[in-house]
Amino acid sequence: MSQLLNGLLWYVAFLFSTTLHEASHAFIAMRLGDPTAYEGGHVTLNPIPYVRKQPMGMVIVPLISFVVGGWMIGWASVPYDREWAMQYPKRSAAMSLAGPAANLCLVLLTALMVRVGMMLGLFVPPESVDFTRVIASTGEGAFTTLASFVNVFLSLNLLLFIFNLLPLPPLDGSGVIPLFLGDDHARKYLAWVRNPSLSLFGILIAWKIFDFIYSPLHLAFINLLFYPEAHYR
């Protein structure tokens, strides 16, 4: 497969997955009483509002990371009312959880697609697996392209789900913690995690530990996906 086509598959997967992640934050915030993101046009699967808000995270960094490393990384965000979050910390936590939950739904839907494809004889377990090789195609041309997209889409959404649930600011996992706290303690916690230096520290720690977390979980998911047809180590 040409580098250009591979890059296009990556970018489509990244753009849709990130857009759905952020739109889910915006939608749940709207339903729970904060219309900030909705009024800003972010309750949508149209990626343009997110690209306009974060062109560095949605365009420049993903393209650079693909050219340098052969995969894409980036970010996006939606606005929210911090006073609303302080007044309703449990609702704020639900908003934080919505993004990773959307990525998990995409992982499960893609896994279902893989199982159906295997039943139809379109996909088979590969000889070995890694981040960009989860399934193999039994055909050529469009089937190979479809398999390549599924490989990227499944692994990328599993990554977004796991990474964003790490309980470190500014990741969504840190915003989920108020679900397990009383309101007073939750408000104190939310005030504490808004420290910009704490967010920078959290991102550095997350990147350091993520490889140790993601790789075994990715492998376990693939083994579960192909059980009992294949088992990888």
Q: What residues are annotated to the active site?
A: 22
4 contacts: CB under 8 Å, gap ≥ 6:
none
In which residue are the tokens 């420049």 written?
Answer: 60
- Rounded to 5°, angle at Cα 151 from 161 and 212: 45
Among residues 154, 112, 113, the alpha carbon closest in space to that of 130 is found at 154
Amino acid at 116: V
- Sequence-distant contacts of 36-42: CB under 8 A, at least 24 apart: 36/79, 36/80, 36/81, 36/84, 37/78, 37/79, 37/80, 40/78, 40/79, 42/78, 42/79
Q: Please tell me whether the peptide bond between 126 and the residue prior to it is cis, using omega within 30 degrees of 0.
A: no
- Report whether 37 contacts 5 (CB < 8 A): no
- In a 13 Å sphere around the CA of 121, the CA atoms on its Cβ side amount to 1
Query: Distance between CA atoms of 2 and 45, rounded to whole angstroms?
Result: 28
Query: Distance between CA atoms of 113 and 213, rounded to whole angstroms?
Result: 25
